[in-house]
Amino acid sequence: MTISRETIINIVLALLLLAIPYAAIQFGNPFYVTLATRMAILGLAAVGLNIALGFGGLVSFGHAAFFGAGGYVAGILASHSFSAIPLNFGLFAVPGTNQMPIIWLVALLAGGLLAAAIGMISLRTSGVYFIMITLAFAQMTYYFAVSWPAYGGEDGLSILVRNQFPGVNTMVPLNYFLICYAVLMVALLLSALIRDSRFGAALQAARQNEVRVASVGITPFRIRLVAFAISGMITALAGALYADLNRFVSPSMMSWHMSGEFIVLIILGGVGRLYGPVAGAMLFVMFEFLLGGLTERWQFFLGLLLLGVVLFARGGLIGLIAGKPRHD
């Protein structure tokens, strides 16, 4: 069996991302470890979006809602754990927690439920209406967070001590990078499995031709709804990790800038390509850092890059190097 060019690129990207923090420490510049962690987390958020946008053709302009939901799960649970005041749900109360595995599970659940609810309504529309309705829902969650004084409102919520992972000191930047990197790798594996599965076949076929899928007896709406929920879960998990990286959650995680950024990551890296989100996140963070150091107007140059990709390299970075995607 021959290994495709895309697989080689994927392996190189995975190793490159893993190498960045070690090289940073070697060269006495540990700040770069955090950059690599940012790449991994933004990449993870975009891996989530890629399932909806890349595989399913569902251009969600509202994934920041799930990202923020995950972030607030981490922030709220941590704050209750810190203050030792249980979360009061009226009928019953639950204690907070500073354990990452529990926080992740809650974040996955919250992201999945929110995405299912938003998807239930949004997926009845398509095209530009879908873009607008997902944006509208995300902005609703944004303003909800802004006007919720219990958890900081507009000012956001600090996580005083980074949440814990059993057996690992998460305050060591390299350790935290490795946690995020491992989560990213698991998400990529799941994403690849889904893409090649029966579900993935139906999802990708629905993107190419909705009528065809219905004509063989598969209801596109159900397939898309499940895909949208899975997509929201992964992005919410990324949000929880992002909150712990910054030790801070704020409504800005839910703003439309964030949703736009995720789409940009995927377009830069390659829409629908397994490692497209990772390539995009690495490029984006690198750009932000290198150009951001030179000029405050780095986003202008990011815009130029995006323009170049859209005009001359529609398949993004992965498409540029590996050529068109193969469907066996």
Are 212 and 205 spatial neighbours (Cβ–Cβ below 8 Å)?
yes
SS3 313: coil
Are 274 and 195 spatial neighbours (Cβ–Cβ below 8 Å)?
yes
* Shortest Cβ 298–another protein spacing (Å): 36
SS3 83: helix
Q: Which residues contact 180 (CB under 8 A, 6 or more apart)?
A: 37, 40, 41, 44, 241, 245
Q: Is 208 in the site for another protein (CB under 8 A)?
A: yes
* Shortest Cβ 206–another protein spacing (Å): 9
- Report the residue number, 125 or 219, with the smaller CB distance to another protein: 219
* Shortest Cβ 204–another protein spacing (Å): 7
Q: Is 7 in the site for another protein (CB under 8 A)?
A: no
* Exposure on the CB side of residue 261, measured as CA atoms within 13 A: 25
Of 109-138, binders to another protein (CB under 8 A) are none
For residue 8, give both structure tokens.
Answer: 């080689």
Q: Is 288 in the site for another protein (CB under 8 A)?
A: no
Binding mask 216-255 for another protein (x = CB under 8 A): xxxxx--x--x-----------------------------
Number of residues that bind another protein (CB under 8 A): 28
- CA dist 179 and 313 (Å) reads 33
* Shortest Cβ 49–another protein spacing (Å): 18
* Shortest Cβ 231–another protein spacing (Å): 13
Candidates 69-77, 100-108, 160-168, 212-220; binding stretch for another protein (CB under 8 A): 212-220
* Shortest Cβ 260–another protein spacing (Å): 27
* Shortest Cβ 48–another protein spacing (Å): 15
- Report the residue number, 226 or 283, with the smaller CB distance to another protein: 226
SS3 68: helix
Among 11, 169, 182, 212, binds another protein (CB under 8 A): 212
Among residues 44, 54, 93, the alpha carbon closest in space to that of 243 is found at 44
Among 76, 138, 202, 282, binds another protein (CB under 8 A): 202
Are 264 and 253 spatial neighbours (Cβ–Cβ below 8 Å)?
no
Angle between helix axes 173-196 and 5-26 (nearest 10 degrees) is 170
* Shortest Cβ 192–another protein spacing (Å): 10
Q: Is 314 in the site for another protein (CB under 8 A)?
A: no
Q: Is 199 in the site for another protein (CB under 8 A)?
A: yes
Q: Which residues contact 252 (CB under 8 A, 6 or more apart)?
A: 156, 258
Among 93, 193, 307, 310, binds another protein (CB under 8 A): 193
- Report the residue number, 220 or 239, with the smaller CB distance to another protein: 220
With helix as H, strand as E and coil as C, how does 183-230 read? HHHHHHHHHHHHHHCHHHHHHHHHHHCHHHHHHCCCCHHHHHHHHHHH
* Shortest Cβ 7–another protein spacing (Å): 15
Among 174, 201, 291, 320, binds another protein (CB under 8 A): 201
- CA dist 304 and 310 (Å) reads 10
Are 277 and 269 spatial neighbours (Cβ–Cβ below 8 Å)?
yes
Q: Residue numbers of the site for another protein (CB under 8 A)?
A: 193-194, 196-202, 204-205, 208-209, 211-220, 223, 226, 325, 327-328
